């Protein structure tokens, strides 16, 4: 059944969108943006050229997600490990690029009714970067469409550590640790992503098959989609292709699928025959 294509899509995006079921879109998509360095190396360019080219991929992906009505999109922009494993010159360039991006994209975010948020240990970023981050967030705070979250200076393990610290501090101020009852719900309420649904779909570009310390708690039941496309070449149409693959899958959450609903139980011996 054909359905109305959102305004602003090009021909390839429109064709990809027509293959989707708008009633079964992911509520939250998380993307591990990878491949900037390889993109630049294949073109005999410096690594920073790949980062610069990746901005166009962010813009296209964000706009497409907002146009089709995805409630939440989270982009893994800069990890805690990047501080230690990247040359200082590259890190400094990334910080300057981030500031320029935030300044340049406020109008686009507002035009698309997108609210900007951040997760990660933001207080460890340079003060100049923190100021730009706060300015951009405040400038989009009244928008009520998609929530775009940038993971900056982010580590999933650090997030879980910070969550337990927060729970312990709250308990100490409210009757003591002996009254602390830890549950999955309580942990979720103390994560950076509180208020957001857990991602239904995580996309990884450049063909790598790992989560890289990204949203480890929240991705427990997310569908994983890996594309060989390097991040600077990723566009809205590739996002739609990932959603198409997502819609082909049966989400079981640890249960049995429809094909096994009435299947007889087989013993270990029978399975070997």
Point out the residues that are catalytic.
34, 82
> Could you report how far apart the first and last alpha carbons of the chain are, in Å?
45
d(Cα 269, Cα 266) in Å, to the nearest integer?
Answer: 8
d(Cα 245, Cα 218) in Å, to the nearest integer?
Answer: 20
């Amino acid at each position: 059944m054909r359905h109305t294509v959102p305004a602003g899509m090009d021909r390839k995006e429109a064709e990809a969108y027509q293959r989707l079921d708008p009633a079964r879109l992911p509520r939250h998509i998380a993307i591990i943006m990878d491949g900037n360095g390889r993109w630049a190396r294949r073109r005999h360019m410096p690594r920073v050229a790949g980062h610069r080219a990746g901005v166009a991929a962010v813009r296209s992906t964000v706009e497409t997600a907002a146009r089709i009505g995805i409630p939440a999109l989270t982009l893994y922009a800069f990890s805690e490990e990047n501080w230690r494993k990247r040359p200082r010159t590259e890190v400094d360039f990334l910080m300057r690029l981030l500031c320029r991006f935030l300044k340049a994209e406020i109008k686009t975010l507002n035009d698309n009714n997108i609210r900007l948020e951040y997760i990660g240990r933001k207080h460890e970023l340079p003060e100049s970067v923190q100021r730009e981050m706060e300015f951009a967030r405040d400038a989009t705070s009244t928008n009520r469409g998609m929530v775009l979250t940038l993971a900056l200076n982010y580590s999933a393990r650090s997030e879980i550590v910070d969550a337990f610290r927060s729970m312990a501090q709250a308990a100490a101020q409210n009757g003591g640790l002996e009254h602390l009852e830890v549950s999955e719900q309580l942990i979720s309420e103390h994560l950076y992503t509180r208020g957001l649904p857990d991602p239904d779909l995580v996309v990884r570009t450049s063909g790598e098959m790992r989560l890289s310390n990204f949203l480890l708690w929240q991705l427990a039941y997310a569908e994983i989609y890996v594309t060989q496309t390097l991040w600077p070449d990723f566009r809205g149409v590739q996002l739609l292709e990932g959603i198409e693959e997502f819609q082909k899958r049966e989400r079981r959450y640890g249960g049995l699928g429809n094909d096994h609903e009435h299947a007889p139980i087989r013993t270990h011996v029978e399975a070997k025959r």
